[in-house]
């Protein structure tokens, strides 16, 4: 029961995080073209604030439940398959990329918005987008690895 609960929490956290990034890159970003630049920035401010709050919850849940299953179910790295090792690596890298987003370009974005500096805020958005795209690719690879490894491939 405990492992099942950990697994479900792990999956839900990953779905929220990776799914949110997929929506942001493949749906929201192209749709913003209909807005004026100032409106785009205002919308980005709201989207980032809400989505990053979700990530601040989903990321530690995904990492902690993953580690709990690694040590509680597999008995540590020695008992885990290649897919668990790779998921651990990519999950940790994704967490690191998000921390970089938060303290780097997102902090610059917030400061630029507070100062009314649209061009600087737009530049920060581009950097955030590039890092989110990196994390999206990592998240999709991690998901594929989880599926492949789960079935012994």
DSSP conformation class of 77: G
Joined together, the tokens standing for residue 146 give 């989880």
Cα–Cα distances in angstroms (integers) from residue 151 to residues 94, 100, 117, in the given order: 24, 34, 51
pLDDT at residue 149, as a whole number:
86
pLDDT at residue 1, as a whole number:
66
Residues of the chain with pLDDT under 50: none
- Would you say how long the chain is, in residues? 153
Cβ–Cβ under 8 Å, residues 53 and 30: no
Q: How far apart are CA 21 and CA 12, in angstroms?
A: 14
pLDDT at residue 3, as a whole number:
86
Q: What's this model's pTM, rounded to 2 decimal places?
A: 0.93
């Amino acid at each position: 029961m405990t492992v099942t609960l950990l697994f479900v929490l792990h999956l839900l956290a990953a779905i929220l995080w990776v799914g949110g990034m997929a929506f942001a890159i493949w749906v929201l970003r192209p749709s913003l073209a209909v807005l004026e630049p100032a409106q785009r920035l205002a919308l980005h401010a709201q989207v980032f604030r809400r989505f990053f709050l979700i990530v601040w919850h989903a990321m530690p849940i995904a990492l902690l439940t993953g580690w709990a299953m690694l040590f509680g179910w597999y008995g540590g790295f020695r008992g885990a398959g290649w897919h668990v090792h790779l998921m651990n690596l990519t999950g940790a890298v994704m967490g690191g990329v998000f921390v970089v987003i938060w303290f780097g370009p997102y902090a610059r974005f917030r400061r630029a918005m507070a100062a009314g500096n649209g061009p600087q805020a737009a530049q920060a958005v581009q950097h955030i987008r590039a890092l989110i795209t990196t994390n999206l690719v990592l998240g999709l690879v991690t998901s594929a690895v989880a599926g492949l490894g789960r079935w012994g491939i």
